[in-house]
Every structure is written in C-alpha cells, then in structure tokens.
Structure 1
Amino acid sequence: MSAFCQVSAVTPFSAPCRVLDLPGHTLLVLPSEIDLSNAPALCSGVLACARARAGRLEVLVLDLTRTDFMDSQGARLVEDVRHGLPPGVRLRVVATPDGVPYRVLELTGVRRDVPVHGDLTGALRA
C-alpha cells in the first residue's frame, strides 16, 4: 500500500516524502534536498509515520537515492530518527555510493551506527 507522509504541509518543498508499506517494513523516500530548512520537519514526519505503525513495524528504511543535496542536518536527521524510533524498530538507509548523502553519512560517522546500503534490495533484506 502506498501513502504519503504528512510532512509536506510544514516543509518548504512541494513534494511530500513517499511512503511504501511492506510486510514488517516501511520505506520512506526522502526529498531531493535535506538541510536546516526542512530537516526538523522531516524528522517529525518520519517519527510520526513510525509511531503510527508501532507494533507492526520491524524495519524503517530511509531512501536517500533521490537526494541530491544533504548537509550535516541530514546526518543529524538520521541520528535523531534512530534515537526516536519505537523500541524494537531497526533503521536502515539507502544511499547511492557515489552520492552526496552517502559521503555525508560516512564523513559524520553515522554509518558506524546505522547500516547504509547502496541499493534498496540490500536494505530490505538486512
């Protein structure tokens, strides 16, 4: 089932994050830019989506493959989501290995705490 996270009303970009629910997994496709202007609202929206699925959600996957720009606020977003998830929910990230988000997560050390996969298949299998 596909739905849309209700973060578009509070963020300055026009497209909401796309949400895809799979058995035990929820995939959130994040916007093309993540920075100080939208990271706090994105974090709130992601955590609200996770809380709404509490009890049936095992793995939350953040898809950054369509994100062209991300600064340290994107890394903070991932860390804040990790710490704010309901108990027992695991976090995975998908980011293109040669993309900016992958590099930011590597440079900030977030990859030590959150598995970052180069493709969606790997993230969903983990």
Structure 2
Amino acid sequence: MTFFTNPTEPRDLPGRVHLTMPAEIDFCNAAELLPLVLSAAGARRDRLEVLVLDLSTTSFMDSQGVRLVNDVRRRLPPGAVLRLVARPEGITARVLELTGLRRDVPVYDDLAEALAS
C-alpha cells in the first residue's frame, strides 16, 4: 500500500490552479488531501476561476476518492469551477463514471483542454 499525503505543488496559471494527484486515493490519504487541495484553492481565492485536479497518474481510487472530489467541488470559492483530468481507459475514469460524478464534474482526457476550459 502506498501512502501519498501531498498532491504536487500547485501550478499557478492565470485564473487556474493545477494539482497533480497521487497514484492512489483511498481511505488512507483522502482525508489528508482535502485540506491540501482546499488550501491551494483558497490561497488564490480572489482570482481562482478553474481548479484542475489531474488524476491521469492516479491508478487507484475508491469511494473516498470520489468523496474527495465531491467535497472539493462543493467547497470551492464562489465562481470557481472544478475540472478533472483522467485517462479514458483508466480505473479512475471508470470509477467517476460508475458513481455518476462525471455528470457533475467535467472530465477531460488532456490537461491542456482542462486548463483551457
């Protein structure tokens, strides 16, 4: 079991924040990731338009990962939107689809597309 407590450092782009998420998001680390993600978004609160969580290297995500994404979406500053990046053939994209979260949060195959949205 791999433990990742930190997403990578946020990339601060004009109006956008990009965070690369860990290889696994589950009950072991999801609760620790939430404040880190919200802190990165909150630090740019006055100019945040889009928060992109890059799940393209995330190879495992359970229901706690889905909960994390949903909690982030609900707690973003007013006017800010959440975008996800996930490999279409990956487990993460399948989990997002099976749980219905994909209907609420746009999922992109490509980081550049997510950042441009």
Paired-residue identity, %: 59
Match of 1:17 among 7, 29, 32: 7
What root-mean-square deviation, in Å, do the aligned CA atoms of Structure 1 and Structure 2 show? 1.1
SS of the equivalent of 2:83 reads strand
SS of the equivalent of 2:82 reads strand
Gaps in structure 2 of 5+ consecutive residues: none
| Partner Cα separation in structure 1 for residue 7 and residue 112 of structure 2 | 19
* 1:26 equivalent in alignment to 2:17: yes
Aligned to 1:108: 99
Aligned to 2:84: 93
Deviating 4+ runs (over 6 angstroms): none
Aligned to 1:7: none
Higher relative contact order by CA 8 Å / sep ≥ 6: 1 or 2?
2
Q: Which amino acid aligns with 2:36?
A: G
| Partner Cα separation in structure 2 for residue 107 and residue 13 of structure 1 | 24
Q: TM-score, structure 2 length as denominator?
A: 0.93
Q: TM-score, structure 1 length as denominator?
A: 0.87
Aligned residues: 114
Gaps in structure 1 of 5+ consecutive residues: 1-11
| Partner Cα separation in structure 1 for residue 98 and residue 4 of structure 2 | 26
State the Cα distance separating 1:13 from its structure 2 match. Answer: 2.5
